[in-house]
Amino acid sequence: METLKILIADDEQSARELILHYLDQAAIPFVAMQAADGRSAFQLLESKKPDILFLDIKMPEMSGIEVLQQRERSPLPVIIFTTAFDEFALPAFDYEAIDYLLKPFEKERFDRALEKAINYIRFFKDSSKQSWLEKISIKKGIKTMVIPVIDIEFCQSDGAYVQVNTGGRSWLMNVALYELESKLDPSRFVRIHKSVIVNITSVKELSSLPNGDTIITLKSGKQLRGSRTYKMRLKDHFNPR
């Protein structure tokens, strides 16, 4: 396994040291970076591009949520929130956190979160070696529908399934959204929300909202709401550097 770059952002030194102690016991190759406040965490996130981010929420200068909101074009690492406050769980998962550790947490709980993060990274690295899907097969009763990927307008999470939308028709696939995303060409498909992926060739218009979200109007007339979390990913396709 390649050496993982891990950023630990927490204003409490004892909390950072505990995570480092648990990491040392995990027997994985890693290099660790530390930040004691939100601004330092943001700078390291932008410049070092860590693979895994252990992120406290209540920190000086910038909160953990603000750190993620302020980032520019850098892709997010795998995020594990570490906090003593359970009321932040819902907004935290808007950023597709892989886990949410409520302080104080034991080593067994930490190990489960770390294992999920590593498996997530391995999955995407393995899938990146594969060619992109050109067609998808969806079973419907005794029939199997073969749908060209180019015909897909957008895909949306629907419970344990993914709803694949093609020009006014929709189909359910028994697959996780992130798994399907990893097999779609990223130059054509972009995530606009934690539960939505859109085919950029289907996009007609983008409209910004005051809260930072985006309304995406498709050529079919369908409107989708993109969260500010993924705003830069979408803009990169239409305003490349």
- Which pLDDT does position 241 carry in this prediction? 44
Q: Does residue 22 have a pLDDT over 90?
A: yes
User: Which alpha helices (DSSP H) does 75-134 contain, by range?
Assistant: 89-93, 107-127
Q: Residue 187 — very low, low, confident or very high, per pLDDT cuts 50/70/90?
A: confident
For residue 92, pLDDT beyond 70:
no
State mean pLDDT over 133-145.
Answer: 84
Q: Are residues 122 and 17 part of one domain?
A: yes
CATH code, domain carrying 99: 3.40.50.2300
- φ, ψ of residue 233 to 5 degrees: the values are -60, -45
Query: Looking at 94, 127, 160, which one is the last position of a domain?
Result: 127
Q: Total structural domains in the chain?
A: 2
Q: Which of 61, 92, 127 is the last residue of a domain?
A: 127
Dig out the tokens for 68 from the structure: 């993620």
Question: Which residue is listed with tokens 């305003």?
Answer: 239
Same domain, 157 and 99: no
State whether 12 and 109 are in the same domain.
Answer: yes
The pLDDT of residue 51 is above 90: yes
Residue 109 has pLDDT above 90, yes or no: yes
Are 227 and 190 members of one domain?
yes
pLDDT level of residue 234 (50, 70, 90 thresholds): confident
Both 79 and 144 in one domain: the answer is no
Q: Do 162 and 217 share a domain, yes or no?
A: yes
Q: What is the CA radius of gyration of the chain?
A: 19
**Same-domain pairing of 205 and 108:** no
Nearest to 26 by CA among 107, 89, 116: 107
Residues 152 and 46 in one domain: no
Higher pLDDT, 49 or 231: 49
Q: For residue 82, which phi and psi values (nearest 5 degrees)?
A: -130, 115
Q: How much is the pTM? A: 0.59
pLDDT band at residue 90 using 50, 70 and 90 as cut-offs: low
Nearest alpha-carbon partner for 40 in 61, 15, 69: 61
For residues 120 and 10, membership in a common domain is answered with yes
Euclidean distance between CA atoms 32 and 9, whole angstroms: 11
Residue 113 pLDDT more than 60?
yes
Asked whether residue 17 falls in the same domain as residue 121, the answer is yes
Q: At 196, which CATH number?
A: 2.40.50.1020
157 and 200 belong to one structural domain: yes
What pLDDT was estimated at residue 77? 87
Long-range contacts from 210-216, C-beta under 8 angstroms, 24+ separation: 212/69, 216/192
238 has a pLDDT exceeding 80: no
Last residue of one domain, picked from the residues 105, 127, 149? 127
User: With contact defined as beta carbons under 8 Å apart, do 200 and 237 qualify?
Assistant: yes
d(CA 55, CA 38): 9
Are residues 64 and 143 part of one domain?
A: no
Range of the domain at 95: 4-127
Query: What pLDDT band is residue 158 in, cutting at 50, 70 and 90?
Result: confident
With 70 as the cut, is the pLDDT of residue 231 above it?
A: yes
